[in-house]
A and B are shown apart, each in its own frame.
Chain A
Amino acid sequence: MNVELPPLLHALLGPLEPAELQLLLQQVESKRYSPGFAVFHEGLPARDMALLVKGRLRISKLRPDSRQENLAYVQPVALLGLAAVVGGFPYPTTAMAQEPSICLRIPGALLAPSEDPIARGLALKLLQASLRGMNAQLRAANARLYSLAGERELVEALTLDLGAWSLPSDP
């Protein structure tokens, strides 16, 4: 493929040891998507993240009235499906190729603790990148909520009891 992977992965994860990079390259799968083909579908179990390295994806969500609504267009380099994979919930949206695209599929299993020190080092770097990415998403959502500062009860209702979700299904 015409994409130089190591610099992309270093940009995403920070400096990687040669053994970590080798392990990552063994585990990720590079996939090509023709226009109209889905990288992932809303509602399906989220098992891997998709790093868009070439092309363009449309992100959409099915509305209750069965309308497929476009939410965004994404260009390289973008990591998709992060929160769903880490949180263990289905993909919340559908990502479809708008033009010939290449994604690296990064298995969520790489985030799990491992007895192998190389795998553990890689997991740590993936977790750190995931936390930074999700923290940015959460900050963006909170920033939008700040505009509702005049309605304190509303902000509380949207944010305060979110923590309860992390209890029941954690291993």
Chain B
Amino acid sequence: MSCTALEYASIWNALVVLFGVLRAAGGDDGVALGSLAILMLGLVKCLEWIERYLRPKVIDYFVAHFRQQAQDWFNKGLAFLGFRVYTALVSLLLGTGYYFLLKAAIRFPSYWTILIPFLVVAFLAIAVVGYFVSGRVPDDPEARWRYCKRFYVPTVGGVSLVAINLVSDLLVGLSAALFALLQVAFQSA
């Protein structure tokens, strides 16, 4: 069974009348509170679904994925630099997190006064985390520096990826503008 256009119109009309009656009875605040109470029910159900079903699955996937990557990275020769598999895992996760943070920062350039100091502090904080999750780093400054460099590899990789993205976007935009200009020039010639 389906409704005709006339029935849809009368349903819409009834809703508009109901809205008017509710607004007259409860005022704007009452209507807003009522509609927010209904809308928040949907939002809270969505939150519940994500917390119960989606989040564990996502975490399982990412932890398994990054653990495998960390294991491979560790086996490539990080073992004697003060790395454990856990250290490599944390390093990869922080690098990925920093990548997303940079992408988010680029999306909101008007907040640069907050974002730039935050990014600098976050970049430095990675070294602090690296200190706390390190394994047996040989006791000399050169070894500590080598450990630090390796710990930063995923983060620097993320930063480079963002930079490459930016440059490629810029080049594509510039070439598109250039072609548009050439087209205009040829048409007017």
**Binding partners A and B:** no
Q: B residues within 8 Å of A by Cβ?
A: none
Q: A residues within 8 Å of B by Cβ?
A: none
